[in-house]
Amino acid sequence: MKVDEMKIIDENPKVKEKMMKRIKNDVETGIKEREKIDELIKQEKLWDKIVLYELEKKHLGDIKAKEIIFLCAVGRLVNNKKSYSFNCLVLAPSSSGKDHLVKSVLKLFPRACQERYGRTSRTTLNYLHTLDSEPDYDYNGKILYLPEIEEHILNSEVMLEFTSSDDEVTKVAITKPKGAGVDIKEIRGHPEVFTTTATTIPTEETRNRFNIVGLDLSDEQIRRTFILSESEYNPRIMKYLSDLKPCDVEIPKKMFDFIVKNFPGKKQRHKRDFQRLLDFIKVLALFNGRKIAEPKDYDRAKDIFMNAYSTCADIPLKDMDRRIVKTLESADVPMSARMLNDELGGIITISNLYPKLRNLVGKEILDEQTDRTLGYVITNFVLSDEFKDKKPFILPNFE
């Protein structure tokens, strides 16, 4: 406040009284707000308050997606986590609000723990915060946000290393131009990678390392975007989140054995999914100030986990891939490449069809079957069980 303004207040009792009353009201409001937050923390209802109400201040709707992203942002503080548990890929059409959603959630968290790069490259990722240039930099506990990522970046070896290695220090070999040898770069720690895309198709390896997050594309959700008037987040909630400290969280043996009993183990990816569920549970415990998870942490975490769980059926397909899938769905029998080509009406040559079929097999959308009934080997293609099974399993509440 300026000196002349203070003089006016001192010389005018009514102005001074009004000013003091406003200050008192502000203090009382602040105390009540702090008590309200403290009570929510005590009752362990702050998580719901944030997901259902606080995040609505910046982005209406998309509650499931917001909760997954929020959990993954808190998850950066779990020390004993797998490097792939809390990476997020928001996969939705253009203009659906995916970048607005991610930015809205991340605004709850300290800016110092976040980095955002648009139109990045594999080379840039290789050289960010290397130990030779920044010897004290540690990626652990950080969020790396890469909006509208391109396919050659998302599915690159660099990204796979960022999102899968458990080594504390990662070494990256970069070939120098014009045969000048190899440059070895070292990076400490692993960030949680948040990214968005409308057109990039993640490979199976990438899907194993990311939570694939979809958005609500209903007409009702679109209408919500027109009525939003953004307001500021509660500073006391932001302080609570900024005060959370990194720690190890333990899963009790009884809970671990219960999850082992009820979790499927038929597919290779289930090994990663099992570990990801354990890490989701750890986040709920950490958020509520516990270093040992309790049954209520599991019950909430498994619901969020199932919302985040995706199969190859959730990945958008390019036009020709969709036609192949629809043809196999309609036929409901194994088909050879030549049979498929005939059914497609010759809109693609057989030589161009084979790579697309191999690609769909690689993404676990199709399975190959060998047929020898005619005296020679024919490779047929069918839709995979994972593609046909939209909700592969259900996790029970803790008993």
Query: Is residue 397 in some structural domain?
Result: no
Is 203 found in the same domain as 180?
A: yes
Domain boundary at 290, 310, 330, which? 310
Is 57 found in the same domain as 70?
A: yes
Q: What is the pLDDT of residue 78?
A: 95
**7 or 102, which is more confident?**
102
| Residue 374: CATH number of its domain | 1.10.10.10
Query: Is residue 262 in some structural domain?
Result: no
| Residue 158: CATH number of its domain | 3.40.50.300
User: Where residue 3 falls among pLDDT bands split at 50, 70, 90?
Assistant: very low
CA distance 233 to 107: 8
**Count: domains in the chain:** 3
* Mean pLDDT computed over 24-50: 71
Q: What is the pLDDT of residue 6?
A: 47
Is 32 found in the same domain as 144?
A: no
Query: Is residue 255 in some structural domain?
Result: no
Is 52 found in the same domain as 39?
A: no
CA distance 123 to 126: 5
Domain boundary at 260, 275, 310, which? 310
Q: What is the pLDDT of residue 244?
A: 93
Q: What is the pLDDT of residue 127?
A: 75
Query: Is residue 174 in some structural domain?
Result: yes
- Lowest pLDDT segment from 23-27, 218-222, 279-283, 319-323: 23-27
- Does residue 271 have a pLDDT over 70? yes
Q: Which domain holds residue 106?
A: 47-245+306-310
Q: What is the pLDDT of residue 109?
A: 95
Query: Is residue 108 in some structural domain?
Result: yes
- Does residue 258 have a pLDDT over 70? yes
Q: What is the pLDDT of residue 24?
A: 47
- Lowest pLDDT segment from 19-33, 125-139, 258-272, 283-297: 19-33
Is 115 found in the same domain as 236?
A: yes
Q: What is the pLDDT of residue 345?
A: 83
Is 176 found in the same domain as 161?
A: yes
Q: What is the pLDDT of residue 20?
A: 55
Is 100 found in the same domain as 27?
A: no
Query: Is residue 96 in some structural domain?
Result: yes
Query: Is residue 252 in some structural domain?
Result: no
Is 219 found in the same domain as 157?
A: yes
Is 115 found in the same domain as 193?
A: yes
**What torsion, rounded to 10 degrees, do the Cα atoms 206, 103, 215, 57 define?**
150
Is 369 found in the same domain as 235?
A: no
Is 107 found in the same domain as 38?
A: no
Is 140 found in the same domain as 53?
A: yes
* Mean pLDDT computed over 33-37: 72
User: Where residue 394 falls among pLDDT bands split at 50, 70, 90?
Assistant: confident
Query: Is residue 110 in some structural domain?
Result: yes
